[in-house]
Chains A and B, each alone.
Chain A
Amino acid sequence: RKEVEQDPGPFNVPEGATVAFNCTYSNSASQSFFWYRQDCRKEPKLLMSVYSSGNEDGRFTAQLNRASQYISLLIRDSKLSDSATYLCVVNLTDSSYKLIFGSGTRLLVRP
Protein backbone atom coordinates (compact mmCIF):
# COMPACT_ATOMS: atom_id res chain seq x y z
CA ARG A 1 0.00 0.00 0.00
CA LYS A 2 1.31 3.46 -0.88
CA GLU A 3 2.06 5.75 2.05
CA VAL A 4 0.04 8.57 0.49
CA GLU A 5 -2.57 7.78 -2.13
CA GLN A 6 -4.25 10.18 -4.51
CA ASP A 7 -6.51 9.79 -7.51
CA PRO A 8 -4.26 10.83 -10.42
CA GLY A 9 -7.15 12.35 -12.38
CA PRO A 10 -7.25 14.33 -14.51
CA PHE A 11 -10.23 16.19 -13.17
CA ASN A 12 -11.58 18.22 -16.10
CA VAL A 13 -13.96 20.95 -14.92
CA PRO A 14 -15.41 24.16 -16.37
CA GLU A 15 -14.49 27.57 -15.00
CA GLY A 16 -16.55 28.42 -11.97
CA ALA A 17 -17.02 24.81 -10.89
CA THR A 18 -16.34 23.45 -7.44
CA VAL A 19 -13.96 20.52 -7.34
CA ALA A 20 -12.72 18.34 -4.49
CA PHE A 21 -9.65 16.13 -4.23
CA ASN A 22 -9.10 13.44 -1.68
CA CYS A 23 -5.98 11.86 -0.28
CA THR A 24 -5.50 8.95 2.12
CA TYR A 25 -2.42 8.19 4.18
CA SER A 26 -1.34 4.88 5.65
CA ASN A 27 0.50 5.85 8.84
CA SER A 28 -1.91 6.73 11.61
CA ALA A 29 0.93 8.37 13.54
CA SER A 30 1.26 11.13 10.93
CA GLN A 31 1.15 14.57 12.53
CA SER A 32 1.13 17.26 9.90
CA PHE A 33 -0.37 17.60 6.47
CA PHE A 34 -0.04 19.90 3.48
CA TRP A 35 -1.19 20.54 -0.03
CA TYR A 36 1.44 21.56 -2.58
CA ARG A 37 0.70 22.74 -6.09
CA GLN A 38 2.88 21.89 -9.08
CA ASP A 39 2.31 23.60 -12.41
CA CYS A 40 3.28 21.74 -15.58
CA ARG A 41 7.08 21.55 -15.83
CA LYS A 42 7.52 23.71 -12.75
CA GLU A 43 8.49 23.13 -9.16
CA PRO A 44 6.12 22.22 -6.31
CA LYS A 45 5.00 25.15 -4.16
CA LEU A 46 3.30 25.03 -0.79
CA LEU A 47 -0.38 25.84 -1.23
CA MET A 48 -1.58 25.42 2.34
CA SER A 49 -1.18 23.47 5.53
CA VAL A 50 -4.06 21.30 6.71
CA TYR A 51 -5.19 21.73 10.30
CA SER A 52 -7.31 19.38 12.39
CA SER A 53 -10.14 21.88 12.59
CA GLY A 54 -10.11 22.49 8.85
CA ASN A 55 -8.90 25.71 7.30
CA GLU A 56 -9.76 28.01 4.47
CA ASP A 57 -7.67 30.31 2.30
CA GLY A 58 -9.82 32.24 -0.12
CA ARG A 59 -11.39 29.77 -2.55
CA PHE A 60 -9.46 26.85 -1.07
CA THR A 61 -10.62 24.75 1.88
CA ALA A 62 -8.60 21.92 3.40
CA GLN A 63 -9.97 19.32 5.77
CA LEU A 64 -8.46 16.51 7.80
CA ASN A 65 -10.18 13.40 9.10
CA ARG A 66 -7.73 11.60 11.38
CA ALA A 67 -10.08 8.72 12.12
CA SER A 68 -10.33 7.84 8.44
CA GLN A 69 -6.77 8.98 7.63
CA TYR A 70 -8.14 11.20 4.92
CA ILE A 71 -7.33 14.72 3.71
CA SER A 72 -9.33 16.77 1.26
CA LEU A 73 -8.93 19.95 -0.75
CA LEU A 74 -11.95 21.85 -2.04
CA ILE A 75 -11.59 24.53 -4.70
CA ARG A 76 -14.57 26.80 -5.25
CA ASP A 77 -15.19 28.99 -8.31
CA SER A 78 -12.38 27.35 -10.29
CA LYS A 79 -10.17 29.59 -12.42
CA LEU A 80 -8.18 28.66 -15.50
CA SER A 81 -5.07 29.42 -13.47
CA ASP A 82 -5.97 26.66 -11.01
CA SER A 83 -4.98 24.08 -13.64
CA ALA A 84 -2.08 22.22 -12.05
CA THR A 85 -1.19 19.03 -10.20
CA TYR A 86 -2.05 19.07 -6.52
CA LEU A 87 0.26 17.08 -4.27
CA CYS A 88 -0.86 15.73 -0.93
CA VAL A 89 2.01 15.74 1.58
CA VAL A 90 2.24 14.07 4.98
CA ASN A 91 4.80 14.44 7.75
CA LEU A 92 5.23 12.00 10.63
CA THR A 93 5.96 14.87 12.99
CA ASP A 94 5.38 18.60 13.08
CA SER A 95 9.04 19.31 12.55
CA SER A 96 10.63 16.49 10.55
CA TYR A 97 12.09 17.25 7.13
CA LYS A 98 10.92 13.84 5.87
CA LEU A 99 7.93 14.81 3.80
CA ILE A 100 5.99 11.97 2.19
CA PHE A 101 4.50 13.03 -1.11
CA GLY A 102 1.57 11.63 -3.01
CA SER A 103 1.83 11.25 -6.77
CA GLY A 104 -0.56 14.13 -7.28
CA THR A 105 -3.99 14.82 -8.72
CA ARG A 106 -4.11 16.69 -12.00
CA LEU A 107 -6.73 19.41 -12.46
CA LEU A 108 -7.68 20.91 -15.81
CA VAL A 109 -10.00 23.91 -15.74
CA ARG A 110 -11.51 24.63 -19.14
CA PRO A 111 -13.06 27.91 -20.37
Chain B
Amino acid sequence: ETGVTQTPRHLVMGMTNKKSLKCEQHLGHNAMYWYKQSAKKPLELMFVYSLEERVENNSVPSRFSPECPNSSHLFLHLHTLQPEDSALYLCASSQDTSSGGTQYFGPGTRLTVL
Protein backbone atom coordinates (compact mmCIF):
# COMPACT_ATOMS: atom_id res chain seq x y z
CA GLU B 1 0.00 0.00 0.00
CA THR B 2 1.77 3.12 -1.21
CA GLY B 3 -0.67 5.69 0.07
CA VAL B 4 -1.07 7.20 -3.39
CA THR B 5 -4.25 6.39 -5.27
CA GLN B 6 -5.21 7.15 -8.86
CA THR B 7 -8.48 7.01 -10.75
CA PRO B 8 -9.45 5.79 -13.20
CA ARG B 9 -7.07 2.88 -13.56
CA HIS B 10 -7.89 2.51 -17.25
CA LEU B 11 -9.22 5.09 -19.69
CA VAL B 12 -10.04 4.91 -23.38
CA MET B 13 -10.85 8.19 -25.08
CA GLY B 14 -11.28 9.63 -28.52
CA MET B 15 -9.20 12.51 -29.77
CA THR B 16 -12.05 14.97 -29.29
CA ASN B 17 -12.95 13.93 -25.74
CA LYS B 18 -12.17 15.78 -22.52
CA LYS B 19 -11.32 13.70 -19.48
CA SER B 20 -9.51 14.11 -16.17
CA LEU B 21 -7.15 11.91 -14.22
CA LYS B 22 -7.23 12.12 -10.44
CA CYS B 23 -4.52 11.46 -7.89
CA GLU B 24 -4.78 11.53 -4.12
CA GLN B 25 -2.00 11.01 -1.60
CA HIS B 26 -2.61 10.05 2.02
CA LEU B 27 0.98 10.50 3.19
CA GLY B 28 0.95 14.13 4.26
CA HIS B 29 3.45 15.02 1.56
CA ASN B 30 3.96 18.51 0.16
CA ALA B 31 5.15 17.67 -3.36
CA MET B 32 3.25 15.89 -6.09
CA TYR B 33 4.28 14.86 -9.60
CA TRP B 34 2.87 13.67 -12.90
CA TYR B 35 4.96 11.27 -14.99
CA LYS B 36 4.35 9.66 -18.38
CA GLN B 37 5.61 6.12 -19.02
CA SER B 38 5.45 4.94 -22.63
CA ALA B 39 6.28 1.40 -23.69
CA LYS B 40 10.00 0.64 -23.51
CA LYS B 41 10.82 4.28 -22.68
CA PRO B 42 11.96 5.79 -19.40
CA LEU B 43 9.60 7.66 -17.13
CA GLU B 44 9.26 11.28 -18.23
CA LEU B 45 8.55 13.97 -15.65
CA MET B 46 5.66 16.16 -16.79
CA PHE B 47 4.67 18.47 -13.92
CA VAL B 48 5.73 19.15 -10.35
CA TYR B 49 3.71 20.85 -7.62
CA SER B 50 4.99 22.03 -4.29
CA LEU B 51 2.37 23.09 -1.77
CA GLU B 52 -0.18 23.53 -4.56
CA GLU B 53 2.16 25.71 -6.60
CA ARG B 54 3.46 24.48 -9.94
CA VAL B 55 7.25 24.48 -9.94
CA GLU B 56 7.93 22.53 -13.11
CA ASN B 57 6.32 22.20 -16.51
CA ASN B 58 8.62 19.98 -18.49
CA SER B 59 7.72 21.25 -21.99
CA VAL B 60 4.42 19.43 -21.89
CA PRO B 61 1.89 20.25 -24.67
CA SER B 62 -1.02 22.41 -23.59
CA ARG B 63 -3.49 19.59 -24.27
CA PHE B 64 -2.37 18.38 -20.82
CA SER B 65 -3.47 20.73 -18.05
CA PRO B 66 -2.61 20.01 -14.41
CA GLU B 67 -4.48 21.25 -11.38
CA CYS B 68 -3.55 21.00 -7.72
CA PRO B 69 -6.38 22.29 -5.51
CA ASN B 70 -4.64 21.24 -2.28
CA SER B 71 -1.53 19.35 -1.25
CA SER B 72 -3.36 16.00 -1.22
CA HIS B 73 -4.99 16.12 -4.63
CA LEU B 74 -3.65 16.43 -8.14
CA PHE B 75 -5.53 16.33 -11.42
CA LEU B 76 -4.48 16.04 -15.02
CA HIS B 77 -7.06 17.41 -17.43
CA LEU B 78 -6.89 16.01 -20.94
CA HIS B 79 -8.35 17.42 -24.14
CA THR B 80 -7.83 16.84 -27.86
CA LEU B 81 -5.19 14.21 -27.23
CA GLN B 82 -3.29 12.36 -29.94
CA PRO B 83 -2.81 8.59 -30.29
CA GLU B 84 0.87 9.01 -29.33
CA ASP B 85 -0.31 10.25 -25.92
CA SER B 86 -1.37 6.70 -25.12
CA ALA B 87 0.75 5.68 -22.13
CA LEU B 88 0.72 4.93 -18.42
CA TYR B 89 0.34 8.16 -16.45
CA LEU B 90 1.83 7.91 -12.99
CA CYS B 91 1.30 10.24 -10.09
CA ALA B 92 3.90 10.42 -7.34
CA SER B 93 4.45 12.30 -4.12
CA SER B 94 7.35 13.08 -1.83
CA GLN B 95 7.75 14.84 1.49
CA ASP B 96 8.85 17.94 -0.39
CA THR B 97 10.71 18.82 -3.58
CA SER B 98 14.07 18.40 -1.85
CA SER B 99 13.46 14.79 -0.84
CA GLY B 100 15.84 13.53 -3.48
CA GLY B 101 15.23 10.06 -4.79
CA THR B 102 12.44 8.93 -2.51
CA GLN B 103 9.17 9.31 -4.34
CA TYR B 104 6.04 7.27 -3.82
CA PHE B 105 4.09 6.32 -6.90
CA GLY B 106 0.42 5.62 -7.45
CA PRO B 107 -0.70 2.62 -9.52
CA GLY B 108 -1.12 4.72 -12.65
CA THR B 109 -3.83 5.32 -15.21
CA ARG B 110 -3.39 3.38 -18.43
CA LEU B 111 -4.63 5.73 -21.14
CA THR B 112 -5.50 4.71 -24.68
CA VAL B 113 -6.30 7.43 -27.21
CA LEU B 114 -8.16 6.24 -30.28
Q: Which positions in A face B, CB cutoff 8 Å?
A: 2, 4, 8, 32-34, 41-46, 49, 87, 89, 91, 93-104
Contacts and interface: CB of A to CB of B under 8 A. Distances in A.
Interface string B43-79: 1010010000000100000000000000000000000
A73 B73 CA distance: 35
Contacts of A98: 45, 56
Nearest to B103: A99
Interface of B: 2, 4, 31, 33, 40-43, 45, 48, 56, 90, 94, 97-103, 105-108, 110
A42 B37 CA distance: 12
Contacts of B99: 95, 97
B101 A89 contact: yes
Given A94-B100, A96-B97, A96-B98, 19 more contacts: A2-B42, A4-B42, A32-B100, A32-B101, A33-B101, A43-B105, A44-B43, A44-B105, A45-B2, A46-B101, A46-B103, A87-B42, A87-B43, A91-B101, A95-B98, A95-B100, A97-B31, A97-B103, A101-B42
A43 B102 contact: no
B42 A49 contact: no
